[in-house]
Chain A
Amino acid sequence: MSTRALLTVYNRRCVSVADIPLLEMEDFASTIASSVGAGWRIVSLFGVAEDTRALRLCAVLANDDSGLLGATCALVAQEYPALSTSCRQAGRFEREIAEQCGAIPKGHPSLKPLRRHPPDHAPSAWTVRPKDREDFPFDVVHGDEVHEVAVGPVHAGIIEPGHFRFHAHGEEVLSLEIMLGYQHRGVERLLECSERGRAVLVAESIAGDTVIGHASAFCGAIEALARSHKTPRGQTIRGIALELERLANHIGDLAALSGDVAFQPSAAFFGRLRGECLNLLMTISGNRYGRGLIRPGGVLFDIPPTMASEVMRRVERLRDEVRLIAQLLFENASVLSRFDGVGVVSAEQCRANGYVGVVARSCRVPRDVRHDFAYGVYRYAQIPVATAWSGDVYARAIVRWLEVQRSMEFILEQLSALPRGEVRVDCGALTPSELVVALEEGWRGEIAHIVMTDAAGHILRHKVVDPSFHNWSAVSAAMPGNQISDFPLCNKSFNLSYAGHDL
Chain B
Amino acid sequence: MEARIKTVPPVLKAVAPLMEDGHSHESISRAVSDVVLEMPMPRPWYATISVGLILLSILGISTAILFWEGLGLWGINNPVGWGFAIVNLVWWIGIGHAGTLISAILLLFNQDWRTAINRFAEAMTLFAVMCAGIFPLLHVGRPWAIFFILPYPNTMALWPQFRSPLLWDVFAISTYFTVSLLFWYTGLIPDLATLRDRMPKGIARSIYGFFALGWRGSARHWFRYEMAYILLGGMSAPLVVSVHTIVSFDFAVSVIPGWHTTIFPPYFVAGAIYSGFAMVLTIMIPAREWFGMKDFITLRHLDNMAKVMLATGLVVCYGYGCELFFAWYSGSDYERTMMWYRGFESPFAWVYLCLLLCNLVTPQFLWIKWMRITPIPLFIISIIVNIGMWLERFVIVVTSLRRDYLPSSWGTYTPTIFDWAAYIGSIGLFLTMMCLFVKFLPMISIFELRLQHHLMKRGEIR
Same assembly: no
Listed in ascending order, the chain A residues whose CB lies under 8 Å from chain B are none
